[in-house]
Amino acid sequence: MPQRSFGVARLAAALLAATACGGGAPAGPVSPNTSGWWRGQVVYQVFVRSFADSDGDGVGDLAGLTARLDALNDGDPATTTDLGVDAVWLMPIFDSPSYHGYDVRDYRAVNAPYGSLAALDAFVAAAHARGIKVILDMVLNHSSSQHPWFVNSQSGADAARRGWYVWSATDPGWPSPLAGAPPWRPAATGWYYAVFSGTMPDLNLAEPAVEAELVDVMNGWLARGVDGFRLDAVRYLFASGPQPAQQRDQPEAHAFLRRVRAALHRDHPQALLVAEAWASTETVATYYGAGDEVQLAFSFDQADAIRSSLAAGASGDLQNVLLRTEAALQGKDRGFEAPFLSNHDQERVARTLAGDLPSLRLAAATLLALPGTPFVYYGEELGMQGGAAADDRNKRTPYRWDATGPGYGFTTGTPWFTAPEAAGVDLASARADPGSLWHLYRDLIALRHARPALATGEAARPAVAGGGAGAFALLRTAGGARVLFVANFAAAPAGAFTVAVAGTPTVLAAEGLAGAPAAAAGQVSIPGLAARGFAFLALE
């Protein structure tokens, strides 16, 4: 049997931890999800290393990001030179030996190439001055193998931090739940569990001292002014046995998240937790708990379905996922969803869609029509494609601020990494072209903010008759306000179709409408849509 790991001893430790969170203080009730600041907002995901370099060393940093905040949101709703996003998620900014930072060496220190604690404070202050909230990436599942905790833990069976990781005297021989290398890794003093990589040993979250330390870390960042956390890899927080299904989505993970939420909300009731549970919509929905686990979770199936519906020229995949999502969140809350198109672990959506602008425009419109809190991956609004997905760095290339290489406004030096982009895929060019993808994102973010039905409303899929396989309709409703989104996912024009909802339509935004939509016999008639066309219609 593994030492201190997945048997009765670990379960007992988990039960103990249930009463020991936050260093022993009792956890109070959590704030309702529905009162959260993120409701109705749009979040922008930033890889600090690739966003803006302030000092010419080719590596993006917090000072560079701070200096460029006006491009994201200048804090003045009257101006139209900014994208208009409401919050930023910073991928890991803590001390780490890797370029990506998902193996943390010190949870309380800013990664030196990104700047100092003072630089982070200045960034948070500058963001808040513009009304931008700040979400930090928090990796609770594992640390770096270079973390002093693990260095101590692996030094021997009697080490002070031995129990902070998961050790076995012999190889338990489990297969990976990720179709990767087996998770038990050899060290001089035993075998340790590390589901992602040997350099990323899993923390023993059943150890109350580990939970208390991580809660203290998170409370420290909240006290410093950040507004929430994106929680990495929540599916893998606990494992209970050799089968892949025993190495993910364990009940202990849900209990852990409930305790963490309560422990953070005691002093910071507005702290947001958004989960990366890379799984089916049904599994993702389990992290809602009773409204007491995470407040948001990324909608991976929707991201896949938007891309595959565009690739197929038919709306069926998206319809099916939305049907499943409605069922999975029945009696819960569609505001739990965090729709997105692609993220740092995936080929960029513009590459998947081969840079086809009408497809990218419909992808953006669909993202910003869906319920929940949409996330935009930096550069998506420019149509950045990055490079071939076999190398993760190709998914995380430097932002293109202008058309002048080799730094493209990202750096005055040599970029830490780069991949080619098509001409015009840069912010300066996009701002100068009223027909650019960036302008569409900006306009639709503004529309979403202006229309409560889009920002926070309920979602339903009224029946569509005609229009072919690409036709799609989504109705958003808040109080008496209604916005109908219609689209044609096909690569060919859609003929006239009707949507089974009553009301007189007014066009708010549209591309490729064949004529004026109208009320007809208790339905809305759409006279036709161009290939990848769409329309947002207010219904009176």
CB of 91 to Ca ion, least distance (A): 16
Q: Which is nearer to Ca ion, 63 or 314 (CB)?
A: 63
CB nearer to Ca ion: pick between 412 and 506: 412
Catalytic residue among 276, 293, 301, 317: 276
Least distance (Å) from Ca ion to the CB of residue 68?
13
Structure tokens, 407: 């730094």
Q: Could you tell me whether strands 43-46 and 375-377 are parallel, antiparallel, or unpaired per DSSP bridges?
A: parallel
CA dihedral 87, 285, 214, 142 (to 10 degrees): -100
- Asked if residues 417 and 409 have their Cβ atoms less than 8 Å apart, the reply is no
What is the spatial distance between Cα 376 and Cα 84, in angstroms, rounded to a whole number?
12
For residues 51 and 534, which CB has a smaller minimum distance to Ca ion in the complex?
51
Min dist CB 81 to Ca ion, Å, is 25
Distance of CA 432 to the CA centre of its chain: 29
Active site (annotated) includes residue 356: no
Q: Does 326 bind Ca ion (CB under 5 A)?
A: no
Distance CA 239, CA 256 (A): 13
**Which range touches Ca ion (CB under 5 A), out of 53-61, 141-149, 199-207, 529-537?**
53-61
- Please state the closest distance from residue 406 (CB atom) to Ca ion, in A: 15
Do residues 304 and 256 lie in contact, with contact meaning Cβ atoms separated by under 8 Å?
Answer: no
Specify the stretch interacting with Ca ion by CB under 5 A; choose among 24-32, 56-64, 86-94, 415-423: 56-64
**Of residues 36, 45, 53, 339, which one binds Ca ion by CB under 5 A?**
53
Amino acid (1-letter code) at residue 487: A
- Choose between 57 and 213: whose C-beta lies nearer to Ca ion: 57
Q: What is the dihedral of CA 360, 328, 297, 392, to 10 degrees?
A: -50
Catalytic-role residue among 74, 227, 232, 301:
232
**How far is the C-alpha of 235 from the C-alpha of 286, rounded, in Å?**
11
Q: In this complex, which beta carbon is closest to Ca ion, that of residue 113 or of residue 517? A: 113
- Rule CB under 5 A: say whether 333 interacts with Ca ion: no
To the nearest whole angstrom, how small is the minimum distance from the Cβ of residue 394 to Ca ion? 21
Rounded-to-10 torsion of CA 328, 334, 337, 340: 110
Q: Closest distance between Ca ion and the C-beta of residue 399, in Å? A: 13
Q: What is the nearest approach in angstroms of Ca ion to the Cβ of residue 44?
A: 20
The helix or strand, by DSSP H or E, that contains position 309, with its residue range, turns out to be: helix 300-312
Residue 260 sits in the site that holds Ca ion (CB under 5 A): no
- Closer to Ca ion by CB, 65 or 294: give it: 65
Q: Is 351 helix (H, G, I), strand (E, B) or coil?
A: helix
Residue 48 found at the interface with Ca ion (CB under 5 A): no
| Number of residues located near Ca ion, criterion CB under 5 A | 5
Residues 59-88 binding Ca ion (CB under 5 A) are: 59, 61
**Does residue 55 interact with Ca ion by CB under 5 A?**
yes
Contacts by residues 213-219 (CB-CB < 8 Å, ≥ 24 positions apart) = 214/107, 214/140, 214/260, 215/21, 215/22, 215/23, 215/260, 215/263, 215/264, 216/22, 216/23, 217/107, 217/108, 218/138, 218/260, 218/264, 218/271, 219/22, 219/263, 219/264, 219/267, 219/268
Q: Is 458 a catalytic residue?
A: no
| CA atoms within 13 Å, Cβ hemisphere of 357 | 13
Closer CB to Ca ion, 53 or 86, in the complex = 53
Rounded CA Rg of the chain? 24
Q: Which is nearer to Ca ion, 1 or 112 (CB)?
A: 112
Q: Which stretch binds Ca ion (CB under 5 A): 55-63, 203-211, 381-389, 466-474?
A: 55-63
Return the residues of window 85-144 that contact Ca ion according to CB under 5 A. none
Closest CA to 406 of 117, 142, 58: 58
Q: How far is the CB of 48 from Ca ion (least distance, A)?
A: 10
Among the listed ranges 51-59, 90-98, 130-138, 445-453, the one in contact with Ca ion (CB under 5 A) is: 51-59
Q: Among 20, 23, 37, 57, indicate the residue that binds Ca ion (CB under 5 A).
A: 57
Taking CB atoms, the residue at the shortest distance from Ca ion is 61
Distance set, CA 324 to CA 5, 152, 281, 319 (Å)? 36, 46, 7, 9
* Contact set with Ca ion (CB under 5 A): 53, 55, 57, 59, 61
Residues belonging to the active site = 232, 276
